[in-house]
Amino acid sequence: MSRPPSRLSIAPTQRRHALDERICRMICPIAAAMVGVCLTGIGLLHVGIAWGRRASFADDLLAIDSLLFLVATLASYLSLRSPAPRQHATLHRMEQVADATFILAMLLLTAACFVITYAVSA
């Protein structure tokens, strides 16, 4: 009966690769769902504008945000699809791009929420 290797017996580079892959597997579906959230927000803002509310630049922020989430989704997807043994450096670069754009997009989404909140209450 063979036992699976313990966490201590796995080389640090293998652990790092497994961790990076888990991060990309999390970013990809979440970022894709956030594109839908941004597009829903844009649609709701346009409905509000059609009802006579004044336009704000919140829909522009959400449009830019949806593009950032799309970049995070594509970078995460491409890093998962790249052949790891041949292009290990490319894999890590795409993971870094996915990570950075995801965080940037989440910050922009938070800023857009503040703009929407204060535009509606004003």
Q: What is the pLDDT of residue 70?
A: 92
User: What is this structure's pTM?
Assistant: 0.68
For range 75-100, the mean pLDDT: 78
Task: Answer positive or negative: Cα dihedral of 95, 100, 103, 105.
Answer: negative
Per-residue pLDDT tens digits for 110-120: 888 888 777 66
pLDDT, greater one: 23 or 77: 77
Confidence check: pLDDT of 22 > 80:
no
Distances (CA, A) of 72 to 11, 23, 103, 115: 28, 12, 9, 23
What is the distance between the alpha carbons of residues 64 and 109, in angstroms, rounded to a whole number?
Answer: 9
Q: What is the pLDDT of residue 54?
A: 61
What is the distance between the alpha carbons of residues 15 and 7, in angstroms, rounded to a whole number?
Answer: 8
Per-residue pLDDT tens digits for 46-64: 777 666 666 567 788 888 9
Domain-by-domain residue ranges, the chain? 16-121
What is the distance between the alpha carbons of residues 20 and 26, in angstroms, rounded to a whole number?
Answer: 10
pLDDT, greater one: 94 or 23: 94
Q: What is the pLDDT of residue 12?
A: 53
The position carrying tokens 């830019």 is: 64
Model confidence at 79, pLDDT cuts 50, 70, 90, reads confident
